[in-house]
Structure 1
């Protein structure tokens, strides 16, 4: 027979691994913001590789723990869904960094830092949401969900401003292409944060 200590111990294992995965995404977002607000904007891809590796390690441990554990603190499908959503955050950020390193010479006039700051904020909220799973308290999770939604709405507003710049006629074709591509990658990264937040919020809704 499983003791309560064993059950809670297994629960802590999953929560800890999910928190590690969320933290990896936040580290990646912080690295991106730091890079884009630096004077030289010189890509240092090692920071993104390390964050992705940390997330991969957490993801692999989650998958293995699901195989080995008879009892989980929340439904297995929810753990898998949240783990998958968290996995996509640093992956999307690394995609931006990799492509940015190839096109730096064409992007010196474009300021990505404000959007990267919003991505850092969004990934930070996701970290707090994942931590809140331990208590399964609805009100704090709802506040965080509302905060994440507000960040997403502001990102959408900034995207409209972007399209005004694209259609202004002041940019050449290459600038238009790069501006659209890189801002859409950032927008999708924020969407990935929002998706992870929705999963976390729905888990608390079901279990509170």
Structure 2
């Protein structure tokens, strides 16, 4: 008969792969913040593509491990949900970066950096939450979940302020449409961090 320690230890690779996915997502947000805090610098898109590729590799490995493994440390559905949520973060970030690189000449005076800083912090909290899954400490995870909630609320406030530029009257219809698209992508990226955090928190609630 397997001991509980043997059973849970046998699924260690899932925690490692989820960590890799979370770190890749965080790295993509770091690259975005670097791009947006100095928009005049001609920064390439390699960092975003690399982070997305690392995330994709980790996601593929998780999917394969779920097929190959008889025992998992947490429910398969939870692993799939968290992997999917993490996958969506660098996807949104790369989408923003690609469009920003093309349209930066039309975005003079629009400072996205404070919002990108909130996104980077939120992704950092997600990394901590994923790391906590090994320990299943509800109290610690609750604190991290609250930190993420506060960051999301602050990011929402900052994005709402950006909407003032849309309705300021100084923009033409094309510029208004462009800014609205950027706001929505950035807001979705922050939402994706929150979604990943909620999945991680619920896993601990279920298993504590």
Task: Report the TM range for the smaller structure's normalisation.
Answer: over 0.9
Secondary structure of residue in 1 paired with 2:170:
coil
Q: TM-score, normalised by structure 2?
A: 0.95
The answer as to 2:130 corresponding to 1:134 is: no
* Uncovered stretches (5+) of structure 1, i.e. residues with no partner: none
Q: Paired residue for 1:65?
A: 65
Q: CA deviation at 1:115?
A: 0.6
The answer as to 2:161 corresponding to 1:156 is: no
Post-superposition Cα deviations, 1:159-206, rounded to whole Å, max 9, x if no partner, equal 221222211212222222222111211110000000000000000000
CA distance in 2, matches of 1:143, 1:5: 27
* Uncovered stretches (5+) of structure 2, i.e. residues with no partner: none
Q: Paired residue for 1:81?
A: 81
CA distance in 2, matches of 1:163, 1:110: 11
Q: Paired residue for 2:48?
A: 48
CA distance in 1, matches of 2:179, 2:132: 36
Asked if the contact 1:43–1:100 (Cα under 8 Å) also holds between the matched residues in 2, the reply is no
Stretch of structure 1 that moved more, 135-144 or 170-179: 170-179
CA distance in 1, matches of 2:39, 2:191: 28
Q: CA deviation at 1:2?
A: 4.8
**RMSD of equivalent CA atoms:** 1.5
Instruction: After the TM superposition, list the runs of 4 or more consecutive aligned residues in structure 1 that deviate by more than 3 angstroms.
Output: 1-6
Where in structure 2 are the equivalents of 1:120-131 lying within 5 Å? 120-131=120-131
Asked if the contact 2:96–2:186 (Cα under 8 Å) also holds between the matched residues in 1, the reply is yes
Stretch of structure 1 that moved more, 170-179 or 150-159: 170-179
CA distance in 2, matches of 1:8, 1:201: 19
Q: Paired residue for 2:27?
A: 27
Q: Paired residue for 1:96?
A: 96
Asked if the contact 1:21–1:59 (Cα under 8 Å) also holds between the matched residues in 2, the reply is yes
Q: CA deviation at 1:111?
A: 1.0
Secondary structure of residue in 2 paired with 1:133:
helix
CA distance in 2, matches of 1:148, 1:181: 24
CA distance in 1, matches of 2:3, 2:13: 16
